[in-house]
């Protein structure tokens, strides 16, 4: 063993891997902005001695606090493209496909560069682009995905990818106090708006193994700074997950996906109808307070934009994609966003009326 730097403890060599162990694994590293994810990820990779790389979503998507907010549809598309790039790297590491040279896609180029810089891929002497390093082909590897992962459905997509290739899957969640995240964020050169972090904190869906068996390999760290005990737990989680790869799905996926699509559509429809009624009442309240036509127009635009965001949150964040749902479950999912939307709409109306 050797020292890995301040606060990290010793480097732990992985033990012998059984014949049933996964060839590699995916680890979702989540938490609020400024919770310490990137710092933990950078410290974690050189310490573990498994092959691998930390892939930071913000860097790979070309995102950052200084960039304008993307529309939900564009943001979702970019995340899907990144996950596809992760899958392409997995197929190369598993020996399924050769790895092509960087193409015109910016995200793919950044993924290749990150894997190259962290020693997971190396330049090929044959001119065929990048290939896995010798270490990556002779020992298990981990791809640690560093993102907020505040919706469970985001993590479930990573789990599905692990299941597709019989890899291990685990998730580490940094449950740093909101005020600590806000303070750290304000010290950054390009801080995220406070309200963005507060909104994310209200929406965040923590791992819950009691409800979701696929989240059983989860570790929630509630300290704001990494400790030696945290390090031991992380290593234990990764090692245990590697010895217990995810089994491929043998369910009737076609019927299940059809049922889930019907559930999700019904939930969104119910929520949309409820939000429309709230908007109608909000506009009536503003009119009763003699709001000017120009104010009424601006208020209507903001309320409808708010509704679109809430419905997109429901599509992205509910648990309907993760399990077969009943009528009661999707009704509950639709109803769960209504009080929050009512509060936001009332706040918006008051802001215009009190101007």
Q: Which residues, 6+ apart, have CB-to-CB distance to 300 below 8 Å? A: 279, 283
Is residue 147 classed as helix, strand or coil in its secondary structure? coil
Is residue 204 classed as helix, strand or coil in its secondary structure? coil
Residues of the chain with CATH 3.40.50.300: 24-242
Q: Tell me the Cα Rg of the chain.
A: 23
User: How does residue 62 score in pLDDT terms, banded at 50, 70 and 90?
Assistant: confident
User: How does residue 67 score in pLDDT terms, banded at 50, 70 and 90?
Assistant: very low
The per-residue pLDDT for range 145-155, each reduced to its tens digit, is 999 999 898 99
- Residue 24, Ramachandran bin (φ over 0: left; ψ between -120 and 50: alpha; else beta): beta
Mean pLDDT of all residues belonging to the chain: 78
CATH superfamily ID and name for 24-242: P-loop containing nucleotide triphosphate hydrolases (3.40.50.300)
What does the alpha-carbon distance between residue 201 and residue 176 come to, in Å, rounded to a whole number?
10
The model scores a pTM over 0.85:
no
């Amino acid at each position: 063993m050797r020292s890995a730097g301040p606060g990290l403890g010793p480097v732990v060599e992985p033990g012998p891997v059984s014949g049933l162990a996964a060839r590699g694994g995916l680890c979702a590293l989540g938490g609020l902005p400024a919770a310490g994810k990137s710092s933990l990820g950078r410290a974690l990779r050189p310490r573990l001695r498994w092959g691998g790389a930390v892939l930071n979503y913000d860097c790979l998507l070309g995102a950052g606090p200084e960039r304008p907010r993307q529309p939900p549809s564009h943001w979702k598309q970019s995340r899907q493209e990144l996950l596809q790039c992760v899958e392409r790297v997995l197929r190369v590491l598993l020996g399924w496909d050769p790895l092509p040279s960087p193409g015109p896609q910016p995200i793919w180029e950044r993924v290749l560069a990150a894997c190259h810089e962290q020693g997971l891929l190396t330049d090929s002497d044959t001119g065929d682009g990048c290939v896995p390093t010798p270490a990556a082909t002779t020992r298990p590897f981990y791809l640690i995905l560093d993102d907020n992962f505040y919706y469970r459905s985001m993590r479930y997509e990573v789990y599905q990818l692990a299941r597709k290739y019989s890899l291990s899957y685990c998730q580490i969640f940094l449950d740093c106090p909101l005020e600590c995240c806000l303070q750290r964020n304000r010290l950054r050169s390009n801080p995220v708006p406070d309200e963005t972090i507060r909104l994310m904190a209200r929406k965040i869906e923590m791992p819950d193994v009691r409800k979701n068996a696929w989240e059983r390999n989860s570790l929630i760290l509630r300290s704001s700074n990494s400790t030696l005990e945290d390090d031991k737990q992380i290593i234990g989680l990764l090692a245990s997950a590697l010895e217990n790869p995810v089994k491929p799905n043998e369910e009737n996926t076609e019927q299940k996906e059809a049922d889930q699509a019907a559930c999700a559509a019904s939930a969104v429809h119910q929520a949309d109808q409820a939000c429309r009624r709230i908007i109608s009442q909000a506009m009536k309240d503003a009119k009763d307070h003699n709001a000017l036509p120009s104010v009424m127009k601006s208020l209507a635009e903001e309320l409808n934009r708010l509704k679109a965001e809430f419905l997109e949150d429901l599509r992205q964040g509910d648990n309907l994609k993760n399990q077969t749902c009943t009528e009661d479950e999707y009704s509950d999912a639709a109803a769960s966003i209504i009080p929050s939307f009512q509060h936001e709409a009332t706040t918006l109306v008051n802001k215009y009326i009190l101007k």
